[in-house]
Structure 1
Amino acid sequence: MTENDSLAERVAELERRLDALTMPPVRTPSPDPSAGVPADLFWALEGLKQRVDADEPGAVLYTGTVGLPTGERYDWQYGTPVEALLEADWSAWADRLAALGHPVRLRLLHRILSGVRTTAELAADEELGTTGQLYHHLRHLVSAGWLQSAARGRYTVPGERVVPLLVILSGVRT
């Protein structure tokens, strides 16, 4: 590393810190207990803020405890530094996101999470198309990691994908 590289890095770091000091943070309004909003509504956010160094760009956390109609239960949490997300190649995730961009695939995931698991049960649902179309969409979801074949002709959403899928859906819901 040359002296110029070192100087450029130091200037970039100073600019980042100055931006952090001069840009007001975007805040969610404080909960109002008189309006029926619990005072501890943002307990996960407050816990995350305590764990993230104030000099860092921040972190993203999502967590969930999910009980499915099938009786399965998933407790899951994932956090990642914002810096790692901003430095990543987002295009590498395009296939996973694209797999969710088709209405039939979303219906498939919904049916499977609701307990309809076999190809025969899924094929009986006319909204999912012909058998050929059904297999096409199942293969696409399996290759993107949103489904796995638990046994021949039986599909499940992998446990580590249940909460992330619901987070994505809740993110686009509003």
Structure 2
Amino acid sequence: MAELERRIATLEERGREQPAMTSEPEELWALTRLQHDFEAAGLAAGGVLFTGALTLPTRERYRWQMTFTTDALLEDDADEAAECLAALGSPVRLRLLRAILAGRRTAAELTELDGVGTSGQIYHHLRQLAAVGWLQTAGRGRFEVPAGRVVPLLVALASARR
């Protein structure tokens, strides 16, 4: 267990640095395990895994992982995927999502942000994000990113880094 914790700490430290590709087998432990699992399941085309364990500024904790086969990802409905990704294509929506993850949960709190527009415009963006599953209402005019979408959202943001 201590060895696994050491490896995770090393990966977290590297996550703060510029990402780098590596071919060192001991540094590819997650990839090695993933390949083994796909091969054991007879899935020669392989797939992807994304996962996360995090604590938001609100002290909410999330642990999440999902594996997708290559075939499943290539066969998914392109229109649905485009709609979901398009909702993230707006800088205002990304700013709103980040603010919600950081703890601003009501439209009133969100209107305090610079550059997000009027309350009517904010509600328009919130409805669009909710329509594709990036947001849900949490009662009393509060919004939240559903638990199963927190890590995928952060993965999407990470994938946009250059």
Same fold? TM cut 0.5:
yes
Q: Give 1:142's match in structure 2, choosing from 114, 130, 137.
A: 130
- Output aligned runs, 1:141-160, within 5 Å: 141-160=129-148
In the alignment, which residue of structure 1 is the partner of 2:65?
77
Distance 2:65 2:136 in 1: 21
TM-align CA RMSD: 1.5
C-alpha displacement at 1:173, in angstroms?
0.6
Q: Give 1:29's match in structure 2, choosing from 22, 35, 43.
A: 22
Matched, 1:126 2:114: yes
Which protein has the larger Cα radius of gyration, Structure 1 or Structure 2? 1
Matched, 1:93 2:76: no
In the alignment, which residue of structure 1 is the partner of 2:4?
none
C-alpha displacement at 1:124, in angstroms?
1.8
Structure 2: gaps spanning 5 or more residues: 1-20
* Alpha-carbon distance change, 110 to 55 in structure 1, aligned in 2, over 3 angstroms: closer
Structure 1: gaps spanning 5 or more residues: 1-27, 32-38
Distance 2:43 2:100 in 1: 43
C-alpha displacement at 1:94, in angstroms?
1.5
Q: Give 1:64's match in structure 2, choosing from 46, 52, 60.
A: 52
Distance 1:130 1:84 in 2: 40
Percent of residue pairs bearing the same amino acid type: 52
* Alpha-carbon distance change, 55 to 151 in structure 1, aligned in 2, over 3 angstroms: closer
Matched, 1:42 2:35: no
Where 2:143 maps in the other structure, the secondary structure is strand
1:41 is matched by which residue type in structure 2? E
C-alpha displacement at 1:92, in angstroms?
2.1
